[in-house]
Each structure stands twice: as structure tokens, then as C-alpha cells.
Amino acid sequence: MKVLNIVEAAYRGTLEEQDDTIVWFCHAMKGANADIDVLLRGNAVNYAVKAQDASGLSFGEARQTQPPQLANDLVKLKGKGVRIFVVEDALRERGIEPSELIDGLDFVPRAKLAKLFGDYDQVWHW
Amino acid sequence: MAKTLTFALMDPPFENARSTTALRLIDLAVKGGFNVNVFAYEGAVYLPFAKQAQHPNAVHGRNVEEENHPLPRTWIAALMKEAGDKGLKLDWANCGLCVDERGAAEAIEGVRRGSPADFWNFAQNSINTLVIGTR
């Protein structure tokens, strides 16, 4: 069974969790030999931006020492054989240039999403 | 042999209509003769939290018995019984790490601890899987 995981709700609890919970979930499923890929759409396309930096959070003497590294988490996921698709319309709408993104992404226009979905047995929209 | 459906839930209780809708869908699946797997992820691990408690409601003018406040843990227990009475199974797995970080370990009987590997196993052994993410 081959599954495409759509990540759309972005930065949901990422500072508390120190990752994106669905990207993390995909890492864990891949560790269980799941045949999965990931599609970033909506605000989640920003996860692929290299220059983002969530470090520096502190409240009083409580400092976050392991901030989320979302782009790097995608790089690691791709290194495990997971394809990372990004909706190119969503990038354009947000003024994000491809040069700002991590390497190795697969860009897909919104108009071709239905065709992409057809390549999978199931599509899970998280 | 009954077929199986899998659900992934993410919303915590008492926050939005998706939680109730998910339980409605699970109820219909059981009524339709399906075994059901549920993987509760993130805030959804509080859906079967054993310490959920009813309360009176002064605005409604009702005491605790009259108010009979719905509790998701009670609904889930009822769904598990409904499934069992029909010879089916509602297998509910709470994400273990999500439970730990929330201190939500005290779940009703029948709820077990699981991992994303359990969810993948659920999905592989089901005729279909529905993810109801939070927003």
C-alpha cells in the first residue's frame, strides 16, 4: 500500500513539539517500513525554506535548547526515500522563490494534484 | 469475517464538532458490521481520558444529575460495548508519546498505548482509512 500524506496545517505546536507532528509521524511510519510520500500545501510549503530559524525562545530562565528544524527534518525524510512534493502555486502565492528551498523537492501545480493522488492507494490529509 | 475500518483522530475533546462527528462515523461503522481501529494522536488521546467528570450547570439551572453532561470517555466506552455486543471490535490505541507529554495515561478500560507503527499496521489491515486532522 502506497500512501500520500498531505501536510497543510503549518506550525501547529512546532515550538512545543520541536518538530511538525505529521512530519515526525511520517519519519516514524517510515521506520516501520511504510511506503509513503509527503505533499506540502498551503502554509506548510514554508517548511521547505532553508533560512527559517526558530531558535531563541525563552521564558524567564527556561530556554528552549532544541528548537524545531523543519527544513532539515524534510531533508532527513527525503534521505529515507520519501518523496517531498510541494504545491508550486502555494509557493508563488507566498512569494517564496525555489532558490530559498531545500534541494530535491518535487514541484507540482495545483491543477495536477488529482493526477498525483491517482498514483497512490490512499491519500491522508492531516 | 467482518471488514475493518481505521480512523486517525487528532482533536482534543470539548473543542470542536470534528470529535463528535468522528464518533458518529465510528458508530455508523460498528452498526454497519465493521471492526474499527482508532489511532488517537496528539490532543485526541484525551478523548478516552478516565478522569473526565460531569458537572452541574447553573446557567442551565440543572444539577449534575439533571445536566447529565456528555463525556467522550463514556461515549467511547459505549461504542466499545456496542461493538463487543455485535461480535466486533473497537480497537483504540492512544499515541504513547502524546500521552506522556500530556499526562493523559489514565484512560478507560480497553484503550491501549500505541505508536505510528501501530497506525500503519491498522491501515494495512483495513479496507480504508480516514484521517481527521486538527486545524
**Domain ranges for chain B:** 4-132
CA neighbor of B9 nearest in space, from A68, A29, B24: B24
Q: Which domain holds residue A64?
A: 2-125
| pLDDT recorded at residue B135 | 87
Name the percent of chain A lying above pLDDT 90. 100
B41 at A interface, C-beta within 8 A: yes
Mean pLDDT of A110-125: 98
pTM: 0.94
- Residue of chain A nearest B6, judged by CA positions: A124
Where residue B30 falls among pLDDT bands split at 50, 70, 90? very high
Per-residue pLDDT reduced to its tens digit, A42-99: 999 999 999 999 999 999 999 999 999 999 999 999 999 999 999 999 999 999 999 9
| pLDDT recorded at residue A58 | 96
Q: CA quadruple A59, A62, A63, A64: dihedral positive or negative?
A: negative
Residue B92 CA to residue A29 CA, distance in Å, equals 18
| pLDDT recorded at residue A16 | 96
What CATH number should be reported for the domain holding residue A78? 3.40.1260.10
B120 at A interface, C-beta within 8 A: yes
Given A13, A34, A126, which is nearest B120 (Cβ)? A34
Answer yes or no: CATH 3.90.950.20 is held by domain B4-132: no
SS3 A5: strand
Q: Most A CBs within 10 Å: which of B97, B120, B121, as the mutation test of the A interface?
A: B120
Count the domains in chain A: 1
Sequence-ordered strand ranges (E) for A1-126 = 2-7, 35-40, 58-59, 62-63, 84-87, 106-108, 122-125
Chain A residue numbers with beta carbons less than 8 Å from the beta carbon of B10 are: 126
The answer to whether residues A48 and A71 touch, using CB atoms and an 8 Å cutoff, is yes
> Does the pLDDT at position B1 exceed 90?
no
Mean pLDDT of B119-131: 98
